[in-house]
Structure 1
Amino acid sequence: MTTYKVLLVDDEEEVRNAIEQRINWEELGFEVIGKAQNGVKAMEIAEKLQPDVVITDIKMPYMNGLELARNLKEENPGVRILILTGFDEFEYAKEAVHLEIEEYILKPINANELSECLKRLKNVLDKEREEKLNVRKLEQYYTDSLPVLQTNFFCSLVEGRISDSEINKYLNDYQISLPGSYFCCAVFHTSENHVPDGMTPLLLSISVQREVKEKFRGKWDCRYFSYLGNIVMVANLGKEDEITRLTDDCDRFCKWADRFFGAVVTVGIGKVCNEVSNLRFSYEGAWEALSYRVIYGSGCSINIADIAPKGQGLSMQPDDINMNDVFKAVHIGVREDIEHAVFSLVKELKDNAKTIMQYNFTVLEIVGHLYRFCGNNHMKFEDHAGEIKNAYEEITKMDESALMAWLVRVALSISDELKNARNSSLRYLISEAKNIVRDEYADADLSLDTVCSKLGVSNSYFSSIFKKEVGISFITYLTDYRMQQAVHLMLETNEKNYEIAEHVGYEDANYFGYVFKRKYGMSPSKYRTEHMGK
């Protein structure tokens, strides 16, 4: 039997304990995974433990039950809310129908009434889960949701096999609407190494595709198709800068898929383009971004525009010599991948060259690609060529092993410079974020969103690299910095606590006191008394 997680929220400890003790949770198919004394604490617990059901009182300090319900629904629309309300609050609570409250239960709490309510809720949750995990329906959905002609069109489009003059004809013939002023490709990769019991990798991928459509419907105008074992999403954008919000939405989907299915989904997002014919370049960028999961980790969204060092573009190679695998390995920076890509390139060169002239011509093309790659990424090829003074003359005299060794050395050297540029870019972002906190911590509106907007990066990417580099989340860093400034003001001025709260970015003095006590284990007044004169 499936067990659902419950969070209890009430500012009276005896009420929380009474609810927990008087209900046979296990028999009903639930478990209490946490208790909170107010809405602020409940949001912290909910973010970490992801409850299926929240039972909350209305009247609480800092954040009342209806405010909590609204915030919970924004973070996780699927969470079920049960409101505990006194008789005098009942009509007020029922006005909040837009919050999609599951039940309103009058105080004092009747154990039988609450148990019956939980039984009904369990039936609803079971039916919803069964519907989503029904393998037979997923197989039928797979058959119905992949129109062959549309899929073939999109596959041909990202492969560059459709001429510009034919695109509109195919769009009309296959009834495909792409109305966006701008377009972008996102590639959803579902790991085959994390498959829940009773599912196959194929069916898991299908269920993920179904949920992508469900979650993004109404928010984004997208088209979907399967390609090379992944789900590709083509998004219509009204404005070019909407790509940041799309990146964050994809990141939230990855976390939701892990929580609900146990599926590890990673999304690579390509650059924005303004022509349907250029979608193949956006797809190439998305695929490139997806390969960076070996650096940034799986289960998140990765935007190629975020990870490319500032001012550096990813070079495009012509079709005559396929250097993409080499340059992809150079960007990722894994030595074994670089060696393998170079080995494959040299082997292909040797296998395909029919004459010595053709061999030399192709070798010179490789050198030319390396020159252009360095130029496109603001580097000097000569800095990476080693002892070779004139590559166009000396490289054609190398035998196979010498050529391979030289290409590996050059590729590794270029990769190191790219990595240093990327790390420099990361350090710059972190430094700028800290400067913003230092200069604007007193602004109550300062948040993760405003900082990311100033820096011009997506929330998901910035949150990931900030925690990786600093060791704590950005919100924790901002809170700690504000608390440090508050301590200075307490010990060095005679300002009232509410004045100090305003000076460090808190409009609500009570909430400031709550955060301060959570940080230092005592109220601001007690802290000032104990530390004055030390």
Structure 2
Amino acid sequence: MKRVIIVDDEVQVRKGLHWKVDWEEEGFQIVNEAENGEEALLLMDNNQIDLVLTDVRMPVMDGIELAKKCKEYNRRMKVIILSGFSDFEYVKNSMKEGVKDYLLKPVDPEELQAVLRRMKKEMDDDRKQQLEIEKVRSLARNQLHEVQEQYLLHLVKGEWFQHHIIEDRLKQLKLHSLLQENVKAQFITVEVRDLNEDTDRAKQLQLAFQMLCKEMVENQDGVFAFYDPNYANMMQLLRLVDKSSNPSFLVKSIQHYVRSLLRLEAVIGIGDEVTGLPNFKVGYISSLLSWSQSQVGNCSQMSGEAVKKESITDFSPELERKIINAIEQSDLTQFRAELEWLLGDMNKQSVLSFSLIANRILFSLSAIVKRYSVETAETQRFIWKVQQAIWELNAQKQVIDYLSQLASIIMEKVNNTRVSDGKFIVDGVKRYIDQHYGSDITLSHLSELFYINSAYLSEIFKLQTGQNFSEYLVARRIVEAKKFLTDQHLKIIDVANLVGFSNSAYFGTVFKKRVGQTPVEYRKAIAVSDLK
């Protein structure tokens, strides 16, 4: 029902309007009456009003002034003016003040009915348009959140080359809070399990569980949620640490809502607090290791402090790079030497420190598998075997054996891609661009990443795609820019930064050349289209 207030200084006029039409049948409900505009505004503070019927001549505040105030109060509120014949021209000129229609006194029931039906149609159309606009804005926000989540996963599992590129991308994605000096963070792993072990509800409700976690952290400062496809039925939370905060309330809330809304149990692993972006990988793995200590079963559990700071063996970016180099250069001897140095008997360390380093190596191998698109049933089986062995916390030799076998398989498959006509490498480059289009990507950077001469990479890329590298990159950025431009809340400079352009002027020039409209013109065209 649309809610109505009648405003007139004559009580008989107000009562007469009640019985002139069947208000409920027309889809309206009279919720209040007022003697003048000022009284009406006070009543609106406590009621959601959709339609105002007001006399034009009233003491204290007349109908025209009330219409102005209503427009300021709620631009979607409809105002109908009631007037005598002598005020007719005056009322007509007032339409610009927010008055939607007018009726002459005495009000004819059929005319009132016709006006109400027009107003109802306008309101319904307004509501439909608003829902469409909100839908577009929601899609744009979801697009930004999706890119943010992908980059959070990259921070904890991807390869780091130049720290300033990471910082620039975090700024572009509005993740400035992660750039605080010596930022302190803690990761929390949340897994859902069935209350009844014989059902498959956890898998069926996986998407609902993800949405629940995202909604719970959406309005919490310094808390982010992301999903790692390698871990089924899990969500990962990143929580920025300050002196007054602790994860207990968040964790208990998640367990409560998972149980009450989804009828599942939440098993939670709380990782160690870490300092600085480079240590995010350590923090993430520690939450997984903490989770791995949970008991088998379907009851809610929580464990924490998986890896004590003094037990962590140093695993610098240089060491990680050596391992990656060994794989990509097909040097199995070098890989095994690095593996033995990090995980073998020569390097005495705790079981949990061993597990952390093993996970770091596994993440590096998984990144290579993804980059070269050599994901097969065999590689996935070995990745899963390594994960299972690490979680057992007492299968160190098995972990080393599985990692060695996995490395050997990856080397063979990477070699096969290199002796092809270049299609596999180009496919890998395209996937990298599709995921990192907002970063500062250069041909020399890609040549280092894929261990291939830049001139040869440029040649085979053009051969396979029909476009040179820079054309493909720009085209991809424009596609993503169009998505972000649907969000009216994002400034043009924000969109430019999100898709990898250093300044809005250059972005506007490139966009106009590719699309035929400037970003502002394109956005306005979308807005007009949405309102139709």
Greater length-normalized contact order (CA 8 Å, ≥ 6 residues apart):
2
The reply to whether TM is greater than 0.5 is no
TM range (shorter): 0.3 to 0.5
* TM-score, normalised by the number of residues in structure 2: 0.33
Larger Cα Rg: Structure 1 or Structure 2? 2
